[in-house]
Amino acid sequence: MVRPGLGALAAAALLAVAFAAPLRALELGDQAPAFSAPGLAGGTVSLASYRGKVVYLDFWASWCGPCAKSLPALDQLRREFAPGDFQIVAVNLDRNPAVAARFLKQRPVGYPSAIDPKGSLPGAFGVEAMPTSFLIDRDGVVRYVHRGFRDSDVDPLRKQIQKLVAAR
C-alpha cells in the first residue's frame, strides 16, 4: 500500500535534484541578456542603455582576490578608449553591498557597478569563475568571455577591445 502523498513528495524531491543542475553558460555569439539592476552608488544600471558601444561586463566581489587586482587595471583600460566607444559595466556580487561600497571607497573606479546580492544575474550569464567578464559588441552580442584575472591578460584584452571598437 502506498500513500499517494508520499509518491508525489518523492517525485517533487527528484525534480528538485534535476533542476539543481548548473545553468547553461553564455557562449560566444549569443545575445547578452539585457538587465536593469540597482547601482552600488544609487540609481539604476541598465545594460541596454549602453547599446551601440563596446561593453566590458565584469562580475566581481570584494572577497575575490583577482577581482581586486583587476579593478585598477580595468579602469586604466577604460581611460584608453573614447567614452562613446567603450564602457565598463560591473556587477557586484557581494551579499552585503555595503562591504563592496567600502571596498570601492578605498579603490575608486570610474565605471558603474550594479548590485546583485541575491546572485540572479551570474546564473543568467553562466558565470563559472570569479571574476568572469563578457566583452559585448556594439550590437549586444557576446564576443569574448574572460575568466579570472592576471596582469598578463590586459594586453590580449586591449587587442580584443580595439578590434570590436574598430568594427563599425
- Contact residues for other proteins (CB under 8 A)? 1-3, 6-7, 9-10, 13-14, 16-17, 20, 22, 59, 61, 63-65, 93-95, 119, 122-123, 127-130, 132
**In terms of CB distance, is 15 or 34 closer to other proteins?**
15
| Nearest-angstrom CA–CA distance, 43 and 55 | 19
**In terms of CB distance, is 95 or 159 closer to other proteins?**
95
**In terms of CB distance, is 64 or 157 closer to other proteins?**
64
> What one-character-per-residue DSSP string does 100-163 give?
HHHHHHHS--SS-EEE-TT--HHHHHT--SSSEEEEE-TTSBEEEEEES--GGGHHHHHHHHHH
**In terms of CB distance, is 3 or 24 closer to other proteins?**
3
At its nearest, how many Å lie between other proteins and the CB of residue 20? 6
At its nearest, how many Å lie between other proteins and the CB of residue 159? 26
At its nearest, how many Å lie between other proteins and the CB of residue 136? 19
And the C-alpha cell for 105?
Answer: 571607497
Is the N-terminal amide bond of 131 cis, ω within 30° of 0?
A: yes
At its nearest, how many Å lie between other proteins and the CB of residue 127? 6
**In terms of CB distance, is 59 or 86 closer to other proteins?**
59
At its nearest, how many Å lie between other proteins and the CB of residue 53? 25
Q: Is the separation of the CB atoms in 121 and 35 below 8 Å?
A: yes
Phi and psi (nearest 5°) for 48? -60, -30
| Nearest-angstrom CA–CA distance, 120 and 1 | 43
**Helix, strand or coil for residue 65?**
helix
